[in-house]
Amino acid sequence: METPAMHHLTEIDYEHVYEPAEDTFLMMDALEKDLDDISSMCPLVIVEVCAGTGIISASLSHALSQTAFFIAADINQYACKASYNTMKLNGSQTFQVIRSDLLSCLGSGFVDILICNPPYVPTSDEELNSADALTCSWAGGKNGRKVMDRLFNDVSRLMSPGGKFYILVLKENQPCEIIEFFHGKGFECVNILSRKAGRENLSVIKFTKSKIV
């Protein structure tokens, strides 16, 4: 997977949108490592929530040669604009960008691949509810789980049978609890890739929904 062109984004953009960092590239590396499995599914719909600059979706879209329809979602209006421009600049043709608080606006059972690099840093609720868009891109509240837990409650509804959900988590997010939650929903679990970035211990976990309806 190639790193998409990002020269359209300026310092002013990064005052409002999370700049790609170690966690971003860990997710991209994990998807590249799992690319054969993703390709073999022939996914029709791929959704990235908390899309930020759109670099992850643009990279995967290019790697799959435009065979899937991409939806990039973010609650941040500046991130939506950045994602749209990143996808267009890098040649993506079959995609849509939506401004949404997670994915409650989407229908059920049609997402083949779901990707999320969420706000995961443990913070106070004050930071979690900040009016500053950039702070909201990383502030995760208690245990860094306030945003992702809301998404987790909707994943089973969204995914198609056999669908795959890729989530980036921090050690402090208590990944074992997350795995236990999804096991209870009938998902299989694989830790695709882990990496230490500064003081952060990050992992990308893949959850696969049962094909039995």
pLDDT tens, residue by residue, 117-144: 999 999 998 998 898 999 999 999 999 9
Order of all β-strands in the sheet with 159-170: 95-99, 69-74, 45-49, 111-116, 159-170, 200-209, 187-197
The reported pLDDT for the residue numbered 65 is 86
Q: What stretch of H or E contains 209?
A: strand 200-209
Which DSSP state fits 102? T
User: Taking a C-beta distance cutoff of 8 angstroms, is the pair 6, 122 a contact?
Assistant: no
Average pLDDT, the chain: 95
- Domains recognised in the chain with CATH numbers: 22-209 (3.40.50.150)
The reported pLDDT for the residue numbered 67 is 84
Strand partners, 201: 196
Closest residue by Cα to residue 82 from 29, 145, 16, 129:
16
The reported pLDDT for the residue numbered 202 is 98
Q: What's the whole-model pTM score? A: 0.96
Helix (H, G, I), strand (E, B) or coil at 44: coil
**Token pair in block for residue 139:** 């502030």
Q: How far is CA 142 from CA 121, 133, 162, 170, 186, in A?
A: 9, 19, 31, 13, 26
Instruction: Spell out the long-range contacts of 139-145 with Cβ–Cβ below 8 A and sequence spacing 24 or more.
Output: 140/173, 143/172, 143/173, 143/174, 144/119, 144/120, 144/170, 144/172, 144/173, 145/120, 145/173, 145/174
Distance (Å, rounded) from C-alpha 173 to C-alpha 43?
29
The single-letter code of the amino acid at 111 is V
Q: What is the pLDDT along the chain (213 residues), one digit of tens a residue?
A: 899 999 999 999 999 999 999 999 999 999 999 999 999 999 999 999 999 999 999 999 999 987 899 999 999 999 999 999 999 999 999 999 999 999 989 999 999 999 999 999 999 989 988 989 999 999 999 999 999 999 999 999 999 999 999 999 999 999 999 999 999 999 999 999 999 988 999 999 999 999 876
The reported pLDDT for the residue numbered 212 is 75
